[in-house]
Structures are given as C-alpha cells and as structure tokens.
Structure 1
Amino acid sequence: MQRINILDESTINKIAAGEVVESPTSVIKELVENAIDANADEILIEIKNGGKSYMRVTDNGSGMINSEVSKAVIRHATSKITRIEDLNSLNTLGFRGEALASISAVSRFEMTSKSREEETARTIKVNGGVLVDERVTGSTNGTTIIVRDLFYNVPARKKFLKSDQAESSAISDLISKLSLLNTGVSFKLVRDSHVILSTPSNTSTLNVITSVMGSDFSSSLSQISYQSDKINIKGFVTNLNYYRVNRRMQIIFVNGRFVSNKSISTGIEKAYATLLPKGKFPGFVIYINIDPNDIDVNIHPQKSIVKIDNIRMIEDLIYSIISKHLRERFLSKRIDHMPIKNDNKSMATKLDDKVLENLIHDDTDMLFDLKQEDNQIGLSAGDESSGSFREETPELIIKSNRDASIKNVYAYLNFIGPIFNGYLIFEDTFHKELYIMDQHAAHERINYEKLIKAYHHKNIEIQQLLIPEVVHLGSEEYDKALLHKEVFTKIGFSIEDFGLKSIHITAIPLTLTDGSIKGMFYQLLDTMDDQPENTIMKIDDLIKKACVASVKSSDLISREEISHLTAELSECDFPHTCPHGRPIWIKFTRHELEKQFNRTNQG
C-alpha cells in the first residue's frame, strides 16, 4: 500500500513554480510587471538563446531596502496586499507573492536592488530555491534581476521549451503589449546583443503603436472614445482598407492588463461583419477601464484570463460604439446614384475602356480568402451543407471536364457581357447553353498553375520593381519576414532589410504583377510558420495565398483580355475550379431556363 508523504520544501517549490513559470516569456512578464509596479520609467530587457540560458531585467524603480531583499524570494511574500479584501481594489499587476520564489526555484537566480533611502545595494544569489550568497554591493537606484539556465534542475520541463526563435518572438510580443499599455515607460529589448525594440517614454499612444506595430498599421487607425459612470472605453480601430487573415493585430487591455476575452473581440468583429471580405479580421488596440469590483483577475497566475461581470452588456456596448464610428467615418462616403439604363453600345464602350464606378472610394485592393468563403457558403467537400447545395442544383456547378457539355467547350463560348463586377456571361453557341464565369476564381486558377509549375521546375520568372514597395512592420513581423527571406525568394519575391523595421520588396513573380504587392506580402507572412523549415513544408498553401491576393475581383476587362483569359484557362490542368475547390463556372441549359419561364410544355 502506498503511504502518504509530506513533500519537502524544494519539491513543493518546483511544483508550485510550474503554475507561474511556464517559459522564458512568463519569467520576463513577472519581472517587467514588478518593475512597472515599482514605478520605473526605464526598463531594459536582455535575453540570450530565447531566454533559456540568460535573462536580465534592469529598472530604475523604487527598489528595495537592504533588509527586505532576501524576503522577496520567500513564497507569498508581497508588498502589494496585506489581506484578502485588498483583491477587490487591486491596482497593481502582481499580488500573489509567488513570482520571484517560483523563478528562483527553477533557475540560477541573482538579484541586486537599491532604494533611494539607502546608500548601498544588496545582492542575493539563489540556485534552485536555495540561498547561496548575500552581500552588500554598489548599484544605481532600482532593481536588476538575472535569471540563468531556466529549468536546469527540472529537465522534464526544459525539454518542452520551444526553439530560440519561437521563445524570442513570444518575449518580443509580450514587451510590445506592455509598451502599448505603459506609454510613460521607456522599454528596450536586446536579443543576443541586438536591439529589437526601443520605445521612448512619455509619448503618445499612437507613437508607441507606430514604433511597435509599424506605420502601415498605425496609419490605418482612427480613434474611438466612450465614457460613462461605469465604464471607460478608448482606443484605435482600423479602417475598411486594412485587414489580416488572423487576429494577431487585435489587442485588448482591461484595467491596465492585457487580456484575452472572446466576448469583447466578438463585439468588435460583429461591427465589421458585413464590411470586410469573409475570413478577414480588423485590427485594433482597445483600452477598457471598469470598476475593479466588477472584474476578477484571480483566476490564473498568468492573469491574462479575467472574469468580467455584465460581459454581455460590454460586448453589446462595444459593438454599438464601433458600428456608429464606422458608419460616420467611412460609410458616409457612399455615393447613391440613380441607376442608368445602358444600351449594348454604351456597355461595350465602358467594357473596352475599363471604366469602373466604385460606390465606395477605396484605393486598396480587396482580398478574398476563398477557403474561408467555401466554408461559409457550403462548398467545402467535408461540409454536410454542400451536399444539399449540389442536390438542389445538380447540373449547374462544373467541377470537371465530365460535367461540361463537351471537353473543349471553350471553342464555342461567345462572350455576352459582365454582371455584378466580377462575373462574366457566355453562351455556348454549339449546345445552346449559358455559362457564368467567376472572373476572380479563373484568374486565381491560371496564376496558381503557372506559379506552382514554375516553382517545381525552379524557373520562376520575376519582375523587378521600378520603385520598390516599402512595408513598415512591427518588431515581431519584421523579424519573421527576415527569418523567412529565403522562403520568399523560393516563390519569386525578393525582400531586403530597409532598416527601422521596414522591408523593401524589390521583385515579385511575373505572374502576379497585377495584384496588390502589400496584400500578397501580408497573405504570405500571415501564413508562414514561426520556423522556415516548417513553412517550406506548406509551399503549396503559400502559393495559393499569393494567388488569392494577386487578383482584383471587381476589375472590368476588355473583350480582348476576356478572350485571352478563356484561352489561358482552357490550357489549365484543372480549369473548372479555383485552387481551393470553388467553382469557376456555373452552367444553365436552355431547358433549365425555359423551365423557369414555364415554357417547357409549349409546342
């Protein structure tokens, strides 16, 4: 029979440390938040090997008096609270008194601190939770903490740490968020002796956003603000021209703390629901302040998950605020014209001259994620709803040559005209059938097959840009782009470091020269893995993403270009669907049309 044992203090500390110390990022988070709580306005973070071998955080905060330095590494020793009731009015980032004890239990830990009230500093060294040295030293005001060899005494935890690059990226992301929240503090992040991020102190929030997330993002922002007795909401949201394929550019702060809250994000995204392409997400930096009694941060030691009272009310309020803001700032530009009757001659003239009248002034190409669209309209092969869609219209969707009237149907197609800014109508003069082409999907299929074949034959033709495209990125995306420079090169994109977290795009694949260069770049960057060796395994997906962004779905094209389009499409290996499986053609027979007009029984 197993006997019940009382664990020794060292084992208890290692187990408890697992709740607080999960990775180098969690260590940096605790140390930097302590520095902020100590009223520091300059914080220097230095890491090596993703923080696994070395982390150092130096601040100019209030520091500690000599007699209390060694107390700081005792579990549940804290200056933030004295009783349980203090949690209801908590205004500091830390409060548990677990961080330093947990960190020192699983590393070689060194701390030097000096208060303004004393002439000398005190340094302590703790290895695996055991105090091994304590002495009086000299130092400037503030605290410096060095953490070496994280998890050296817990090998089971150490082997689950991610790569140096992944851990470094996580730390960079953390410092970016903390700098957005604390604009009165100057942050500097140094990784392997290179300065990755540096922000000035006492500057505007928008300046920090530009420094951290890039000017491409910040230039798309507009400010929102709302205040009542119960809640204060302010921040910045992107316009209708800026969107990404993931939620990486969405940041929420509640009562001075970065949080992940699905309800708040949902409220914001609902406001954009019908204004952005399917599968695209807006960016935002939102600051919410509510009564501390209405929020519970005492759920998890990482404190990124919080419980908020009346969260549905807040979700509805945010939706209302941002919907109103978007209508007033962007949708007011809509021009309502009375429809003009066009005869065939005027339509042909407009078609040949490529005249396109936009209802909303938008100088940015709209990008559509076809995979996301397929999932939502029920065309995905694995979607149950797709079966019912095909059952209702069994003859309309052309998925293969077998579905077409004849294999070489293109030879008999006569172009009739465009509809709905993106669809083309053709008549099959041989079989008396009507075809509707999705112009966007057709272009995408052509570009995809050209590029994927060129990639496999290692002969991608590139177009040097007369004026390089400059992309201004945040720290994390800038590092990611440079890390994947060779991957970009493999698929025909030449990128160069332009300094100041900017990338020069100097060449693109010749096949994709009609698309939005920035749009293609962001599609690729968002699809790439943290590690290039993993990214190269999904090269087909990258090329699909680039081709989605390479097409302007609403362009009107001339008759000559339409002839060229159908000729190129007929040469494709799979000319009836886009690379994501969405149909390019829909077919109506004469019988089906006559049936709609109740003419099938007439002689």
Structure 2
Amino acid sequence: MDATARKLPTIRQLPPNLINQIAAGEVIERPASVVKELLENSVDAGSTRIEVSIVGGGTEMIRISDNGCGMTADQLPLALASHATSKLPTDEALFHVSTLGFRGEALASIGSVSQLTIRSRIDGDDAGNEVRVRGGVIEPPVPCGCGVGTVMEVRNLFFNTPVRHRFLKTAQTEKGHIVEAFTRLALANSHIHFVLNNNDKPLYDLPVTERWSERIEAFFGSEIADCLIPINSDDAQIRVSGYVCDPSVSRGNSRMQYLFLNGRHIRDRSLQHALGEAYRGLLMVGRHPVCFLRMSMPAEMIDVNVHPTKLEVRFTDGGRVYSRLLQTLRHHFLTTDMTQRVGPSSPANQPTQSDAPQGPTVPVLNRTEQAHRQSVIEWARTGRSPDEVFVSPNRGGDNMPTNAGPIASQNSMTSLGGVPDFQPYPSGNSMGLPATGMASTGDADFAPDPNLAPWDDPHMPIGDPPLSRNGHPSVCYLGFQVHNRYLVTQDEKGMVVIDQHALHERVLYERVKTKVLDSGQALESQGLLVPETVSLTPAERTAVLEHQDTLRQIGMDIEDFGGETVVIRSYPAMLRKTPPAEMLRTLMESVLGGGKKPEPIELLNHLLSTIACKAAVKAGDPLSPEEIESLLEQKDLFNDTHHCPHGRPTALFFSRDELDRMFGRLGPRGRV
C-alpha cells in the first residue's frame, strides 16, 4: 500500500452535549437570544405577569419569572432534552403552529452553554421542583419552595465556550439588544404585565392595557404616540390593524418598523417594500416610516418553520398579503388630513431641502421664461398641452399676446387622463387682492384698484368657495406671496403657509402620473429640429438603451448613435427650459445611483417626479395673482398634496389656538 495514501476518515455519532452546543450557535447568539426564547416560553405558558431581571448586560445573570402553567417534576428533565416540546402534540401540528415556540431546542441549547437553574410549580401542588444544568450536565430534580409558574435563571453565559464569549460586546450594548427583544414581546402582548429590571433597577413596568397606543407610548414617548394614525382592515381572512406614524416622524433606518403576525414579531422584505410603497412621495429619500402593525391570518396560510430564530416566515399567497397591506395604508392616507401642523403636539423633525440658493438676490425671469412658466401652470390647471398655451412674447401677429398674463381661456379647459375638468372660481373672475396688496407681476388687468376696499373690488369672488375632494372647503383662495417662495392663506381653522414649488411639483406629478400610468398614454413631446447627440459613460449608455421604452413614455425618444453616444430626437414639451442632455444625465445618475436595477414602474415613477420637479415653479419665482389662485385651487383636486413627490411637506398649518397661544391670547380662562 502506498505510504502516501490518504487515511480514510471515520464517521462517528456526535454526543448530545456537543450537538446542543452546535445548535446553540444558531439559536443562542447573545444574551438577548436567551431572553427572547425564555420570554416566548412564558407567553406560551399562559402567563399574565412576566418579570425579567438582568445583571452585567445578561452575561452574568438573566432571570425570568412568570405565573404560567408551570411544569411537574417528571417534565423538567424532558424539557431540557433536545427536540422535546409540548407545543406540537401531533406531526400535522407543524403546519398549523399557533404558539411562539415549537422547535424544542432553546432550553437544551441554553443549558449546554451556561449554568441554568429552573424552578417550577403547577397549580394544586404544595411545593415546586428545581433542576440544575451545568454546561449540559443535568442534575436530578429536587423539591423547592416557589410560587405557581416558572423561574428560569441563567448565569455565566458561554462560560464553557470562551471563543463565543470573546465575541460579546460591552454590557451596555448587550443590554440594548435585550431591551429590544423585550420590547418586541411586550408590544405584541399588551394583555400581559411585563417588568424589566437592570442591575436591580427597574427599567420598565408595563401593566396590562386595552389601548395598544399606551404601551407604544411607554416605550417610545409622546413624540411617537402623538403622531400615530390608526389602521384597521379586515377581509375575513387577512386582518391588518395598529398604527403608522405621520410622515413628519421618520427614521434613517427601518428598525422602528414593528410588524407582528399572529402575535409573532417578524421581518419580511415584501411587507417592508409594501410599507415603503405606501409612503412613496410622503417621505424624503433615505428616510423610513415608523409603524406598529398587527396582522392576523389562518395558520395554514403561513409557514413559520423557516429559520431557527423564527423571525422569517413564508406566505402561501404573498401577493395577496402584500396588496392587502399596501391598499390598507394608501386608503387611510387618502382619507386622513396629513398636512403638517406646527405646535407642541405635532413635531416637525423631518429634514428639509432648499430648492434655490440662499441669499438676498431674487432671480428675475425674462418675458420668455415667464410666458413658458405660465404655460406649464396653465397646463397643470387645464390639461392642455404646453405647446397649445405657450406663445413666445417675441412673436408678432394680431392675436399674439405680448405680456406674461393669462394665456389660455378658462372656458376651453379639457380633461387629462380621466381627471375631472378644472372648475374655475364660481364668479368666473380672478382673485382680487386687498387694497394694500402687492402689484401683479403679470397683466395689468389684475392689479387691484387702490381706491377700493377689498370687499368692493370687482375681482373679488362671489358665492361659495369651491369644495375639496371631501366635499368641504379647504383653502380660502385669498393668498399672497412671501419672499417669492411661500403662499400664505387661511382655512376655517387657521393659517396655512404653502411652499409654492413643492405644491406645484405635486400637482404636476399627479397629472403626469394619471396620464402615463393610469391612462397608458405618453407625455406630449416636442420633436427636435436638430437631434441632439449626447456622450455618456458606458454604464449610462447601457442604462439608457435598456430603458428606451420607459423614456419614450415620458416623451423622450432616444436612439443609439454608435460608440458611447446616443441621440435625442424628441423631448418632453413641458421641459422647454431644461437642456435635453442635462436632463438625460440627471435621470441616468439617479437610476445608476440606486445600487440595483430598478423595476420599470419604479423607474417610471422616478422619472415622472423628476420631470415634475424640473417643470414646477421654483422658490424665488414671482407669481401673479392668477397663478397663486390657480395653485391654491388645485390643492384639493389631487391626492397627497400635503407632500411633494420627494417627501417634503407642501404646507404648514397653524391652528387658531396655536396662533393665540404664540401671541399670548390664550389664557387659563380662554381667549383674552
């Protein structure tokens, strides 16, 4: 036999203790994993009060006591055996799991890497029983004194696996992970009294409550509790309830998205994606919504036997669950006034962006730019093509207007993609300004008469104000512009300050989205007399050619020109002021910057929002009275006008009470 021949390895059966230590590597990652597993056992035992005490971040000691059903002396050693559980009475029960635990691995794994002591007593017994486990070695049960229920004490975690122990973080960090595990179980079970102590000091004492919002407030404070929007939907099989937060409260990551399925905290990418889609256009890029949602469905519709931590699940009909969550949230958002309010009860911690350079200089538009801007506003107002309403001031002719006033007649308005025709103010006239108002930047016909009081002005509207989508007047169309950036107006409950760019951007976005996504039409495009060639990087060129059809839907016709060059043959008519090459590069930068290939619908949504942003009036653009009126009138004609497509608020609402409080007119006895 060749001396260099390889020795045949021997297959051997691993001892039970080593098997448990290997299993502990999957189930028991850190002290928080111990807390999670033991808390789930206490919940499954029918406990009404559970107390958790930790020392040294859980590495020195973890004690969990409950008043559940308890265990008998002969059950204690069996509970510590590998793959032993009372939660699967039959083999078929695995496909109808209704408990949090069911694998039968936790206690065996914990006992193999720690010094574990269990004391338990059932109702009706005079005394309890105690069993000790030292590094996987189980001692016989002995009688002890204890109350009804179970007390589990874990000391010196990973004492016999020093490699695992060295990977633990500081006591403060481990405590934070334990608090998170405790939070998830306590949120999911508001019918149980939970207590958490750290180093003999109480952290949480959460009594039973029927109002879930009270438990949420106990963990996250009034900042979150005051911004909760209740959610409730039931289709006989899938029920969704709980709360989502107003977009003014968001986070830079998804850690505050608490999803509970049949009482179990889960992480599911499809549900998180549905949540993000529901908030599309309400949050800025990089911000994540905050939610606390409970979902319930028959056990046969889900599979929880996916991962040892039981954090992931699979759905038999994932598309239905996705649609149910998305439709539920969007319906509630559309029926809820989400205008951002200013006051102590409505925090505004959302980061903002400026759309124009800061400084005292206000850009002055030439007559051509003013005419084009008004054509875009008129297009958003009437649905007519910008080419129909745009007339260069430099062109001659008897019928050509030579000013920057109104270009299109209100009597020739058309519908765009199923959106109801815009209805002018009841009087048919334009908005009048107070006697002390500012002069118009447009047609002189709209300048107020300084000799008339506001109520005598012939341009003041007569009759009732137009109704919003909900059938109630929302904004009084008597607004004025501040610093060529903001429109100040009022409704029946207070004062509203509107960002002109953000509101106009949302209006344009909703119109183009209705036309392209709902009606399946393409945006109006303008053929270029001389097609424009654009040199791109290889990655940009590849992205452009891959998305030719999508770009054609927004009115941009692009063809390959050879090498790394493409040629633009047509361009969206509403982007007359933006150079085609610059716009194409802007679109491709946003596509490539996402880090992954976008879905066609996501790309189209992004392109439409970019077009709306480029075409909308900017901060610093002076608006004429009729333009102000047109924007304010459209605020209630579209969805989600409380935020621009990129998530910035379009308006800030100051209630009368808040204004009175700020000016010291609201005392303890009422207004003064």
Shorter-chain TM-score: which interval? 0.5 to 0.7
Matched, 1:67 2:263: no
CA 1:135–1:202 in 2, change beyond 3 Å: closer, same or farther? same
Kindly tell me: are residues 246 and 390 of structure 1, through their superposed partners in 2, closer, same or farther at Cα, counting changes over 3 Å? Answer: farther
Q: Give SS of 1:329's match.
A: coil
Matched, 1:40 2:42: no
Looking at structure 1, the residues matched to 489 and 108 of structure 2 have their Cα atoms a distance apart, in angstroms, of 62
CA distance in 1, matches of 2:431, 2:139: 86
Instruction: Find out whether 1:145 has 2:152 as its counterpart.
Output: yes
Question: Given the superposition, is the C-alpha separation of residues 5 and 237 from structure 1 closer, same or farther in structure 2, using an over 3 Å criterion?
Answer: same
Match of 2:582 among 393, 408, 430: 393
Q: CA deviation at 1:332?
A: 9.2
- After superposition, the C-alpha distances for 1:235-269 in whole angstroms (9 at most, x for unaligned) are 11112322222222211011110000111121122
Aligned partner of 1:174 in structure 2 is: 181
Cα distance in structure 2, aligned partners of 1:362 and 1:33: 51
Instruction: Provide the C-alpha distance between the structure 2 equivalents of 1:289 and 1:220, rounded to a whole number of angstroms.
Output: 24
Q: Which moved more, 1:125-134 or 1:288-297?
A: 125-134
Matched, 1:264 2:277: no
Q: Equivalent residue of 2:141, what SS?
A: strand
Are residues 1:351 and 2:482 paired?
yes
For 1:156 and 1:327, how far apart are their aligned partners in 2? 54
Residue from 257, 262, 267 that aligns with 1:250: 257
Distance 2:287 2:441 in 1: 33
Q: Which residues of 2 match residues 406-425 of structure 1 at below 5 A?
A: 423-424=619-620
1:314–1:138 distance in 2 versus 1, CA, 3 Å: same
Q: 1:327 Cα deviation (Å)?
A: 0.6
Cross-structure match for 1:55: 62
SS of structure 2 residue aligned to 1:357: strand
Q: Note if 1:283 corresponds to 2:290.
A: yes
**Corresponding residue SS for 1:356:** strand
- State the structure with more CA Rg: 2
In structure 2, list runs of 5 or more residues that go unmatched.
Answer: 1-6, 342-421, 443-479, 500-536, 545-563, 567-577, 587-614, 623-647, 653-672
d(CA) in 2 for partners of 1:320, 1:362: 32
Quick check: 1:240–1:330 contact (8 Å CA) kept in 2?
no
**Structure 1, 332-341 or 101-110: larger mean CA deviation:** 332-341
Q: Please show how residues 225-374 of structure 1 align to structure 2 within 5 Å.
A: 225-330=232-337, 345=439, 350-351=481-482, 356-357=487-488
The amino acid that maps onto 1:392 is: A
In structure 1, give the amino acid aligned to 2:327.
Answer: S
Aligned equivalent of 1:214, options 215, 221, 231? 221
- Give the distance between the partners of 2:89 and 2:219, measured in 1 at CA: 37
Offset, 1:18: 1.5
In structure 1, what residue type is equivalent to 2:35? I
Q: Output the CA distance in 2 between the equivalents of 1:50 and 1:148.
A: 11
- Cα 1:110–1:329 shift into 2, 3 Å: same
* CA distance 1:288–1:355, change in 2 (3 Å): closer
Q: 1:431 — aligned with what? A: none
Percent sequence identity over aligned pairs: 30
* Contact 1:241-1:362 at 8 Å conserved across structures: no
Cα 1:51/1:391, change in 2 over 3 Å: farther
TM-score of the pair, normalised by structure 2: 0.53
Unaligned runs of at least 5 residues, structure 1: 367-380, 398-418, 427-550, 556-603
CA change 1:54–1:390 in 2 (3 A) is farther
Q: Where is the helix percentage greater, Structure 1 or Structure 2?
A: 1
For residue 350 of structure 1, report the CA deviation from its aligned partner.
Answer: 4.0
From 85, 88, 101, give the equivalent of 1:94: 101
Q: For residues 304 and 276 of structure 1, what CA distance do their matches in structure 2 show?
A: 27
* Counterparts of residues 410-449 of structure 1 (less than 5 Å): 423-424=619-620
Aligned AA (2:439): K
Rate the CA distance shift 1:363–1:356 in 2: closer, same or farther, 3 A.
closer
Q: Which moved more, 1:284-293 or 1:75-84?
A: 75-84
Separation in 2 of the partners of 1:340 and 1:242?
Answer: 36
Structure 1 position 341, deviation (Å): 9.1
Do 1:188 and 1:199's aligned partners in 2 also have CA atoms closer than 8 Å? yes
Q: Distance in 2 between matches of 1:93 and 1:266?
A: 25
CA deviation after TM superposition for structure 1 residue 143, in Å: 0.6
* AA of the residue aligned to 2:279: Y
Sort the Cα spacing of 1:362 and 1:167 in 2 relative to 1 into closer, same or farther, 3 A: farther
- Asked if 2 retains the 8 angstrom alpha-carbon contact of 1:60 and 1:142, the reply is yes
The one-letter amino acid of 1:25's match is: A
Answer whether contact 2:36 2:181 (CA < 8 A) is retained: yes
Contact 2:73 2:141 in 1 (8 A): no
Q: Could you say if the C-alpha distance between residues 36 and 392 of structure 1 is closer, same or farther in structure 2, counting changes exceeding 3 Å?
A: same
- Please tell me whether the aligned partners of residues 111 and 134 of structure 2 are also in contact (alpha carbons under 8 angstroms): yes
Following superposition, the deviation at residue 229 of structure 1 comes to 2.5
User: Taking structure 1 as reference, are residues 37 and 127 closer, same or farther at Cα in structure 2, changes over 3 Å only?
Assistant: same
The size of the alignment, in residue pairs, is 397
Helix, strand or coil at the partner of 2:62: strand
Counterpart Cα distance in 2 of 1:205 and 1:134: 41
- AA aligned to 1:194 is K
CA contact (8 A) 1:421 1:553 kept: no
Give, in whole Å, the separation in 1 of the partners of 2:75 and 2:275: 46
TM-score if structure 1 supplies the norm length? 0.59
Measured after TM superposition, the shift of residue 303 of structure 1 is: 0.4
CA deviation string 1:442-468 (max 9, x = no partner): xxxxxxxxxxxxxxxxxxxxxxxxxxx
Q: Name the CA distance, whole Å, in 2 between partners of 1:352 and 1:226.
A: 45
Is the CA contact 2:486–2:497 (under 8 Å) kept in the aligned structure 1? no
